Amino acid sequence: MSDQSWQIRPERAEDAPLVEHLNAISFGPGRYAKSAYRLREGVEPVEGLSFVAMDGVELLGSIRFWPVAIGMEKSLLLGPLAVQPGLRGRGIGIALMKHAIAEARAQGHASIVLVGDEPYYVRVGFARLAPGRVRFPGPVDPARVLALSLQHNVMLTLKGEVRRAHINQPICACGAAVAG
Ligand SMILES: CC(C)(COP(=O)(O)OP(=O)(O)OC[C@H]1O[C@@H](n2cnc3c(N)ncnc32)[C@H](O)[C@@H]1OP(=O)(O)O)[C@@H](O)C(=O)NCCC(=O)NCCS
């Protein structure tokens, strides 16, 4: 977009309600049932890797990452990535991903995994993993398990169960925070 009026900047605390709303309209209530959501439960997004695309005070799109462990390795779980429904197809999603991937690389992260549509994510370098190599909690279409190495000329060695890398806030089954 040559006449681009919008910019990408780090997400701020005051952006969170807008981002939550965008994710709600983009993914619907079914998002809580997804495997990827279980890996986010009780865990904060990776600090310094949440970005928003803004046109003035208007939120156009958002990307966040969550910290995961796969086997013995740490990785980043990409998502949610969402763009306002009326603004899709203008390059905002790809721009958000390119920006965030460059930042993740600069911060020294080794790899990114996600569950998503290969024809879209291949545009920024993601590739499908061999079926069963990386296992998410709950059912996931193996064709949608994608990964990207952030280290030049380093092959991905990710293998095993995807787990939360740590838990910030223990959650009980009813969703309420557990004291202490
Ligand atoms: C997926 C999403 C983030 C893409 O954002 P966007 O800003 O529209 O994407 P871009 O404009 O950067 O890229 C658009 C291009 O990608 C293609 N594309 C978009 N979604 C795609 C998909 N799921 N599979 C394959 N190609 C896709 C478009 O057809 C378009 O192709 P073109 O450049 O040849 O015309 C946006 O559609 C969205 O918010 N969807 C709802 C939430 C969602 O599904 N997020 C992804 C979770 S896996």
Specify if 173 maps to a domain.
Answer: no
Q: 177 in a domain, yes or no? A: no
Q: What pTM did the predictor assign?
A: 0.93
Residue 143 forms part of a structural domain = yes
Q: What is the CATH number of the domain that holds 70?
A: 3.40.630.30
Q: What is the pLDDT tens value at each position of the chain, 180 positions in all?
A: 446 899 999 999 999 999 999 999 999 888 777 888 889 999 999 999 999 999 999 999 999 999 999 999 999 999 999 999 999 999 999 999 999 999 999 999 999 999 999 999 999 999 999 999 999 998 899 999 999 999 987 888 999 999 999 888 766 555 554 443
Q: Which residues contact 160 (CB under 8 A, 6 or more apart)?
A: 70, 71, 72, 134, 135
Residue nearest to atom 5 of ligand 1 (CA): 93
119 alpha carbon – ligand 1 mean position (Å): 9
Quick one: which atom of ligand 1 is closest to the CA of 89?
A: 11
| Residue 171 is assigned to a structural domain of this protein | no
Number of domains forming the structure of the chain: 1
pLDDT score, position 25: 96
Q: Domain range holding 67?
A: 7-164
Tokens representing residue 46 in the block = 């990776």
Q: What's the pLDDT score for residue 152?
A: 85
Structural element, H or E, at residue 100:
helix 92-106
Q: Which atom of ligand 1 is nearest to the CA of 115?
A: 48
In a domain? residue 178 = no
Mutation test residue for ligand 1: of 23, 31, 35, 83, the one with most atoms within 8 Å of CB: 83
Ligand 1 atom closest to Cα of residue 27: 42
The answer to whether position 179 is within a domain reads no
How many Å apart are CA 86 and CA 84, to the nearest integer?
6
Ligand 1 neighbours by CB, cut-off 6 Å:
26-27, 79, 81-83, 88-94, 116-117, 119-120
Give the pLDDT of residue 22. Answer: 98
Would you say residue 169 lies in a domain? no
Is 34 domain-assigned?
yes
